Chain A
Amino acid sequence: MTARDRTPIFALAFGIAYAVIYVICTEVNLPLLTYHPVTGEIGPLWQPPKNGPVMYWYGWMVTALIGALVLAWIATAIPEQWLQRMLIFGCAGAAAYLILHTVALFIYDKATVELEFLKSRWLSAAAAVIVSALVSYLLPPQWYKRVWHGWIWVVPLGAISVLAYYLSPYFTR
């Protein structure tokens, strides 16, 4: 693979990896640095507010940047088929998790008996891994020949949907 061939793969993997890591960082709150805008102080990792509000956004971006650079570099080193396989597995897993967890919470809400286990994220995640593995196994081999560059809009659009969902309390309160 030439350097010219590798550039779009690096850019694709970087965009996808960044979007996914960024969503995780915002959800779990994993900033590599914290900014205190009132005092202009910058501190390492997560810090509680002091003398006014804090900003974690810059920290999330730095965390995601480092992670995405590493993953993009790995992506250029592995065969295209592997990368495509991982992307299908990851996207199918994310979609399956979203559907399964939503269905589980819906059943929990409507059930007349207490089904506490349905609220577990780990259960939905485990089921999603199984579904994703099945999907990856059942897909025809031609799907894995080359990397599909359409992932560059599918994954960021999925990330935006999740981020918008997290912000829904602002619009429902």
Chain B
Amino acid sequence: MIFWTTLLIIHGLMALALLGAITHQTAALWWPVRAPAGSFVTRFRAVPGTSYVTAIIVLYVVTFVLGAWIYTQYRFTARLALEQLRFLKTVGVFELKEHLATIGLILLPAYWAYWRVPLSQEYANARKQVTLLLAVLVWSNFLIGHIANNARGLGS
């Protein structure tokens, strides 16, 4: 049990780092700073988006692999308990998480292609759209993971 708990914590930490990186990049892309950075929010938006690309891809893949591994344990432990307790909405929302994670993973090749340096103006819109969608998926999965963990997680 200690092994799976450790893995879950690492998965959570990776997800947190990914969440920070993708949120930074999305904010900088959709809401770029026009004036010199001053407040915390302005500085948050003032990051160079290209420097985040590799980190986001690596973090996504590592978080995904860890999640897919932990999922094997979840399937016959936590999920069975959730079903017995009739927490069907929690089970359903976790099922959605697996699909959202897969869709996010398959966006990565396009995300990488649109963010290649030098940035192509031709893909400016696609770059914004794919980054935003990826950010929404990462946020959704982070929150769903929390819901599932709160329902039947560590120490339950």
Measuring CB to CB, which residues of chain A are less than 8 angstroms from any residue of chain B? 7-8, 10-12, 14-15, 18-19, 22, 26, 35, 37-38, 52-53, 55, 57-58, 61, 68, 149-150, 152-153, 156-157, 159-160, 163-164, 167, 169-171, 173
Contact = CB atoms under 8 A, between A and B. Distances in A.
Contacts of B89: 170-171
Contact of A159 (B80, B92, B103, B110): B103
A35 B68 CA distance: 12
A149 B123 contact: yes
B13 interface: no
B129 A153 contact: yes
Interface residues of B, number: 35
B113 interface: yes
A57 B133 CA distance: 22
B40 interface: no
Interface stretch (B1-9, B54-62, B93-101): B93-101
B106 A164 contact: no
Contacts, number: 95
A52 B79 CA distance: 12
Given A37-B75, A170-B88, 6 more contacts: A15-B110, A38-B76, A55-B71, A153-B132, A164-B99, A167-B95
A22 B99 CA distance: 9
A173 B100 CA distance: 22
A57 B98 contact: yes
A11 B103 contact: no
A22 B76 contact: no
A152 B129 contact: yes
A30 B110 CA distance: 25
Contact of B96 (A14, A58, A152, A167): A167
A173 B88 contact: yes
13 contacts: A7-B113, A14-B109, A15-B109, A19-B106, A22-B106, A52-B76, A53-B80, A55-B71, A149-B114, A153-B132, A159-B103, A167-B95, A167-B96
A164 B76 contact: no
A56 to B, nearest CB: 11
Given A15-B110, A53-B76, A149-B114, A26 B133 contact: no
